[in-house]
Amino acid sequence: MISPSGKRVLVALLAVTAAVVGVWAAAFPVSFHTDFPIAGRGWVSALGPYNEHLIRDVGAHYLGLLVLSVWTVRRPTPAALAVTGGAWTAFNSVHFLWHALHLGVFPVADRIGNMVALGAVLIASLLLLTPSRKPVDTAAVPE
């Protein structure tokens, strides 16, 4: 189990991911297609020709998750954490599976990088769906 404050940290990390990918893809789609995740790797361009509409839509999707995640960081109720976890899990599970089935175009280092990066955000998403551990009341614990 993970504490509510631990879940809040996970949502904040997912928000950072959403901000980076969302702004990059929505505002700079050619660069995102060519350079994601860093210059010279080309994880997006290896999968097919440039499609501005698709890349900007991906950016918009991430920006939507960013809005939800920032709201949840600011108001981390159990319901908000669960809904945010559900939204991220729905996206990340499909995203992870698709990439896992299409790794053949990448060198080994990029295959590993894809699975580690996508696996990490999927695990973070799933952890938001687990029951929360109640914080220990240190005032009630005898010394």
In 3D space, the residue among 77, 85, 69, 70 whose CA is nearest the CA of residue 125 turns out to be: 85
Residue 137 lies in a domain: no
SS3 132: strand
Q: Could you read off the pLDDT of 10-63 as tens digits, one per residue?
A: 999 999 999 999 999 999 999 999 999 998 889 999 999 999 999 999 999 999
Residue 78 lies in a domain: yes
Question: The whole model's pTM is what?
Answer: 0.89
Alpha carbons within 13 A on the beta-carbon side of 110: 19
Note down the domain range covering 77: 4-130
Residue 54 lies in a domain: yes
Residue 143 lies in a domain: no
Number of folded domains that form the chain: 1
Residue 143 is given by DSSP the state -
Q: Which two tokens stand for residue 57?
A: 């839509």
Greatest CA separation for the chain:
65
Q: Which residues of 95-116 are buried (b: 16+ CB within 10 A; e: fewer)?
A: bbeebeeeeeebeeebeebbee
Residue 105 is given by DSSP the state G
Residue 104 lies in a domain: yes
Q: Could you read off the pLDDT of 108-138 as tens digits, one per residue?
A: 999 999 999 999 999 999 999 999 876 555 5
